Amino acid sequence: MVDAVTIVNAGFKLSIDKIKNFEVRSDDIFLLTFQKSGTTWMKEILPLVMNGGDIDAITGTPRDVLIPHIEFQLSVDEDPVMREVQKQFLVPDGFQLDQLVSPRMLGSHLRSEFLPRDIDEKRVKVIYVARNPKDVAISSYYFCKGALSSRIETNEPVKAKAYQDFSEFLPEFFEIKARTHKVHYDGTKWHEHVLPWWERRHDRNVLFLKYEDMIRDLKACVRQIAEFLDVHLTDGAVDKISDHCSFQSMKNNQMALKSNFCTNVLGVKAEEGSPFVRIGGVGGWKNTFTVAQNETFDEIYQEWIKGSDLEMTFEL
Ligand code: A3P
């Protein structure tokens, strides 16, 4: 359990109380994800579903303004590092969540117990995206290689420790270690994030989606999202959204790539490409995991999901 004021992966301070007491509007829509599970992808899809597939309407707007992360936004007043990070995400100075017109779309990587009380009390709509944890581990590895490390020790932003290889990273993905909050966003392991939402997947206000199903059939997922949000989409709009949100199209989309954040905060060289739209797909872990790592992963994963009927897809 992490205490009331905690520190999350980019090294910023966050008041959990402030988040828990955040006033939610009854028509807010929340996009909730464990990190590296398709958040950027869904931040492209959702606004288009909401506006009926009007790509021009979102072209010039940074995705983190369209769907701001509440924990980032609520910490900018207190934390200069977070203010800087938000600037790199192209969020204008002085931007406030209550400036957004309803229905607001809000994002968060926080686990369920840290989220605003109102989400439950007002039964607002939640779209949850889960991705198989082997691909999440690989994706997190590439992300953490460049990410800012935590400020727990120095209270200053410092560059992440350079992982020599994946074998150095993997144990930190399994365990929450005091100084590796960058691996575990708010001290939460994959299953602690995913399972509470899986258990609520039949609630009327919850849409639980799997990244792998989006890869398998994006159009079907776009339709499912539209239905959940009570939006009528024509077949043409579904096609348009799915084409625009394909991996290749997003790879060339500067707004989706968050290029300033990647170059200025993560220190990623332009030629290395963005870790937010990197390789995508299902089963990439097989190119990196050794047989032994895979066996260890399977053992730990079985322990994580013991007693749950959740089934994730690890390869297609
Ligand atoms: P990889 O690192 O495996 O390539 P998040 O946005 O939650 O940080 O997740 C990032 C992951 O989503 C990255 O995975 C990224 O490539 C993948 N992703 C982003 N856009 C995508 C798209 N249009 N189609 C498939 N995967 C996408």
- The single-letter DSSP state of residue 79 is -
Q: Is 108 in the pocket of ligand 1 (CB under 6 A)?
A: no
Amino acid at 4: A
Strands 13-15 and 5-7: antiparallel
The per-residue pLDDT for 270 is 67
Pocket test for ligand 1, best of 253, 266, 276, 282 (most atoms within 8 A of CB): 276
Q: 232: CA distance to ligand 1 center in Å?
A: 27
Q: 153: CA distance to ligand 1 center in Å?
A: 31
The per-residue pLDDT for 182 is 52
Residue with tokens 């290889």: 165
CA distance 109 to 39: 9
CA distance 118 to 106: 13
Q: 187: CA distance to ligand 1 center in Å?
A: 22
Q: Is 142 in the pocket of ligand 1 (CB under 6 A)?
A: yes
Sequence-distant (6+) residues with CB within 8 A of 32 are 107, 108, 109, 110, 112, 115, 126, 127, 128, 129, 197
The per-residue pLDDT for 260 is 74
Q: 36: CA distance to ligand 1 center in Å?
A: 7
- Nearest ligand 1 atom to the CA of 276 is 10
CA distance 129 to 175: 22
Cα torsion at 224, 226, 230, 235 (round to 10°)?
-110
* Core vs surface per residue 239-272: b (16+ CB within 10 A) or e: ebbbebbeeeebeebebbbbbebbbebbebeeee
Angle 110-111-114 from CA coordinates, rounded to 5°: 75
Q: Is 9 in the pocket of ligand 1 (CB under 6 A)?
A: no
Q: 273: CA distance to ligand 1 center in Å?
A: 12
Residue with CA at minimum distance from ligand 1 atom 9: 36
Residue with CA at minimum distance from ligand 1 atom 2: 139
Q: Is 284 in the pocket of ligand 1 (CB under 6 A)?
A: yes
The per-residue pLDDT for 155 is 40
Query: 118: helix, coil or strand?
Result: helix
The catalytic residues are: 109
Cis link prior to 68 (omega < 30° from 0)? no
The per-residue pLDDT for 172 is 83
Q: How do residues 167-197 score in pLDDT, each as one tens digit?
A: 988 988 898 654 444 556 667 899 999 999 9
Residue with CA at minimum distance from ligand 1 atom 22: 247
Where are any strands of DSSP class E within 176-256? 206-210
Residue with CA at minimum distance from ligand 1 atom 19: 277
Where are any strands of DSSP class E within the chain? 5-7, 13-15, 29-33, 105-108, 125-130, 148-149, 158-159, 206-210
Successive 10-residue mean pLDDT values, the chain, 316 residues: 43 75 97 96 98 95 92 82 77 91 96 94 98 96 63 40 79 70 69 97 98 98 98 98 96 81 68 83 97 98 98 98
Q: How many CB atoms lie within 10 A of CB 205?
A: 15
Residue with CA at minimum distance from ligand 1 atom 5: 36
- Nearest ligand 1 atom to the CA of 215 is 25
Residues facing 192 on adjacent strands: none
Residues facing 6 on adjacent strands: 14
Q: Is 39 in the pocket of ligand 1 (CB under 6 A)?
A: yes
Q: How many CB atoms lie within 10 A of CB 19?
A: 18
Q: 280: CA distance to ligand 1 center in Å?
A: 5
Q: Is 243 in the pocket of ligand 1 (CB under 6 A)?
A: no
Instruction: Write down the pTM of the prediction.
Output: 0.92
- The single-letter DSSP state of residue 241 is H
Delineate the domains of the chain, giving CATH numbers in brackets: 6-304 (3.40.50.300)
CA distance 38 to 276: 8
DSSP string of 32-75?
Answer: EE-TTSSHHHHHHHHHHHHTTS-HHHHTTS-HHHHS-BHHHHTT
Amino acid at 181: H
CA distance 310 to 292: 24
Q: How many CB atoms lie within 10 A of CB 70?
A: 22
